[in-house]
Copies of this chain bind each other. A is one copy, B any other.
Amino acid sequence: MRISELSSRSGVSVTTIKYYLREGLLPPGRQTAATQAEYDDQHLRRLRLIRALTGVRGLSVSTTREVLDALAEYTGDTHRLLGLALGSIRVGEVPSGDASQAAEVQALVEELHWDVHASAPARTTLAETLASLRALGVPLDWRTLLPYARLAERTAALDLDQLEGLDDPLEAAERALLLTVLLEPALMALRRMAQENESARRHTS
């Protein structure tokens, strides 16, 4: 397809597509004339992925390129690929606060027997959230988080189920990124709705 069709099918303007091409986020098309190139479904998929990373999650262009480069490098090592896809993005807005709770997060991970890299950004998010909540007078330690973590285990199993049957590991990694990044607001919305329901159940007759 021409760049104009790539634009209309992806919903990304031609100007922006050209910018991604210049910045190396999108591989060049097959040159068919001096000023014309042909693009395919791979380009379309890649473009959607870039939009998910930059648009929805607000990653910078350079961080997005790092994530995409890493995805390309580790094709074939599914776990490594998924780990990268899942672990490379920081989780939302991180509340400020000191991160001295690293040891506490480690205690939680050990109690759960989780296999989680020591430098996973999610550890820092967790530590800083605990610190913030305490600063605001909400007493919460890693033991309070334990039942939440057990439910997170089951959520993660559902997530990984969505990736089964995708033979192309690069496609699986892309899907993992999309699910992790885009499903977050949906899961938080479900929690809000469930809270409202639970509150009605407990507090109205």
Which A residues form the contact surface with B (CB < 8 A)? 11, 45, 48-49, 51-52, 55-58, 78-79, 82-83, 86-87, 91-95, 109, 112, 114-117, 120-123, 125-126, 129-130, 132-133, 135-138, 144-145, 147-149, 151-160, 162, 175-176, 178-180, 182-204
Residues of B within 8 A of A121 (CB): 192
Q: A95-B56, A182-B95, A185-B91 are in contact. Are A115 and B152 (CB under 8 A)?
A: no
Partner of A138, one of B135, B144, B175, B201: B175
Cβ contacts A to B, 13 pairs, < 8 Å: A55-B95, A79-B203, A92-B184, A114-B197, A115-B196, A122-B188, A122-B192, A133-B183, A144-B162, A156-B195, A160-B202, A180-B191, A187-B191
Q: How distant is A183 from chain B, measured CB to nearest CB, in Å? A: 7
Complex Cα gap A116–B95 (Å):
29
Residues of B within 8 A of A180 (CB): 191-192, 195
Dominant secondary structure at the A interface: helix
Chain B residue nearest in CB terms to A136 = B48
Partner of A93, one of B82, B114, B115, B185: B185
Q: How distant is A68 from chain B, measured CB to nearest CB, in Å? A: 15
> Counting chain B CB atoms within 10 Å of each CB, which of A48, A51, A93, A155 scores highest?
A155
Residues of B within 8 A of A94 (CB): 185
**Is B203's CB under 8 angstroms from A145's CB?**
no
Chain B residue nearest in CB terms to A204 = B79
